Chains A and B, each alone.
Chain A
Amino acid sequence: MQTESVPSSPRVPIIDLSDSNIILLTQPLARCRVLIVDDDELVVGHLSALLQRAGYEVHTAGTGEEALSILDTMFCQIVLTDWQMPDMDGLSLCRDLRSRARDGYIYILMLTIRAGRSDILAGLSAGADDYLVKGASSDEILARLEVGRRITHLEQALRSSNRENRRMSITDPLTGARNRRCLMKYLPRELERSRRYQHPLAILSCDIDHFKRINDGFGHDVGDQILQAFVVRSNGCIRGGVDWIARSGGEEFVLVLPETNLSGGSCVAERLRKVLSGQPIATSSGAFAVTVSIGVSALETEAEINTGSASQLLIAADRCLYASKKLGRDRSTAASIERAGAVLSDAQLGSHSGIG
């Protein structure tokens, strides 16, 4: 399992959801960035010195507009804002910050001379998380900011953990390829996109030949190394950021190639087959000559793109894969979704067509 590296410190907590649902507060707080927003330069100077002394990274703005402009280019965990300012006041700033999606939660502490009960309610209802009246002691200002630091740190840790959980939920932990769940979720989306732009879509269904023999004969560790090497070599044959590979079963993989027709898919399949068979795979138990059987199918005509489904495409590619197996392995077979059935029948009868 991959985990994000976090700087170590013995005393400050972080959330860790890696092993259970229990929140473990064992990791350090990163340096917290505060944006001070006030139109009085001396007040800004005073607060800046105070916050820097407490270890915060400080940025400043003289108006709400300037604050928004800074926050557009740099994330600050805490905004310490005055209320009454030229251009855009603190209330409008709060409302604006709450109306936009950002990389993380911004904790807003309003620090103003307005001390009325209705002022406090207005500040909080505009989106401030806390409200402090100017004249509060330095200790109190820092204590309130520390609350903000703790809350934003927890929020960021949770966000990071969610991101990692999401990544894990669509990733095969052994090979780093996408998993079957991801394939079944995102292949239909690729198809929708093909339909929208009337672009072809090809897939390769791959099965490593005689993989069970390797696993049974040399152990799962060696088998795992073969699978990992297969994904590495496959990634070298496809376009980064466009094509993708999913592990659909034990030694079965599907390569998804957007904007690729059947002929293009066949080219990739042959390249992959040659890359794999051309050089043995080094493992801890020695080098293994490994081959792969591949089935290629694609949606490329207007009718196929408009009416074909992800499952039809997968079935067609699988049929071509079985044809490759029937015809002796270490080969690729390509056919449209309409022709795949016939290609498989031909292969089963001993004759073949469309064999690469």
Chain B
Amino acid sequence: MGSVEPLEDPEAALERVRLSFHARLGGERARLASLAEALKSAGRNQALILQDIATFAHRLRGAAATFDVPELSADAKALELAATMTADGLANDREPSFWPTLETLSNRLTVLSGGMPATGTGANNAAGVDPALSGLLDVVLAHRYLTDP
């Protein structure tokens, strides 16, 4: 990184960074999907992938809090915890909370980046919330975060 040149318009810079964060969320969703795929086919390397997921979630959790998106931060925190616990052997990847937690975060990222969440059926439905209601809430939240300064 290095030194930062003085900004001509700090307000514009803050807004630009905030928009960049939201623009990044689609990429974060893709990254999470890629990590999930890797975990499914990891075999004996599951612990390493779980650690990567925990790191990914931790970083997203901090960034979301910084950019004032608390629900995303909370979802990321839940996944970070689940991944860490699973990696530590306190649970395993078939533990009921892990995949729903991952899917909840994935849905949140999808909505915030302008897409529609997976409806989530059966075991993948996050926390047993009604899929239609969950999706609606996400859309409402996303609208709020994307339009509020």
List A residues at the B interface (Cβ < 8 Å): 39-50, 52-53, 58-62, 66, 70, 82, 84, 112-113, 133-135
Contacts and interface: CB of A to CB of B under 8 A. Distances in A.
Given A49-B7, A49-B14, A113 B24 contact: no
Interface in B22-62: 24, 55, 58-59, 61-62
Contacts of A61: 1
Given A59-B2, A60-B1, A42 B21 contact: yes
Most buried by A among B14, B70, B73, B77: B14
Most buried by B among A40, A42, A44, A133: A42
Q: For this complex, into which size category does the number of interface residues on chain B fall?
A: 20 to 34
A53 B62 contact: no
Contacts of A135: 65-66, 68, 70, 73
Contacts of A70: 2
Nearest to A86: B55
Contact of A49 (B1, B17, B24, B68): B17
Given A52-B10, A53-B11, A62 B65 contact: no
A58 B65 contact: no
Given A49-B17, A113-B58, A40 B1 contact: no
Given A59-B3, A62-B1, A135-B66, A50 B14 contact: yes
A52 B59 contact: no
15 contacts: A41-B1, A42-B20, A46-B21, A49-B7, A49-B13, A52-B4, A53-B14, A59-B1, A62-B1, A66-B1, A84-B58, A84-B62, A134-B62, A134-B73, A135-B70
Contacts of A41: 1
A228 B90 CA distance: 80
Contacts of B1: 41, 44, 59-62, 66
A42 B24 contact: yes
Contacts of A40: 59, 62-63, 66
A112 B20 contact: no
Contacts of A133: 65
Given A52-B4, A135-B68, A39 B59 contact: yes
A352 B37 CA distance: 103
B148 to A, nearest CB: 14
Contacts of B13: 45, 48-49, 52
Nearest to A41: B1
Given A42-B21, A133-B65, A49 B10 contact: yes
B62 A58 contact: no
Nearest to B77: A113
Interface of B: 1-4, 6-7, 10-11, 13-14, 17-18, 20-21, 24, 55, 58-59, 61-63, 65-68, 70, 73, 77
Nearest to A49: B13
Nearest to A47: B66
A60 B4 contact: yes
B120 to A, nearest CB: 26
B6 A113 contact: no
Nearest to B15: A49
Given A52-B10, A113-B73, A134 B65 contact: yes
Contacts of B62: 40, 43, 82, 84, 112-113, 134
B4 A58 contact: yes
A134 B66 CA distance: 5
B135 to A, nearest CB: 25
Given A40-B62, A42-B63, A113-B62, A52 B17 contact: no
B11 to A, nearest CB: 7
Contacts of B17: 42, 45-46, 49
A103 to B, nearest CB: 18
Nearest to B13: A49
Given A40-B59, A113-B61, A113-B73, A46 B2 contact: no
Contacts of B55: 84
B72 to A, nearest CB: 11
Given A113-B65, A113-B73, A135-B66, A46 B18 contact: yes
Nearest to A67: B1
A50 B67 CA distance: 12
Given A50-B14, A53-B7, 4 more contacts: A46-B21, A52-B7, A60-B3, A134-B61
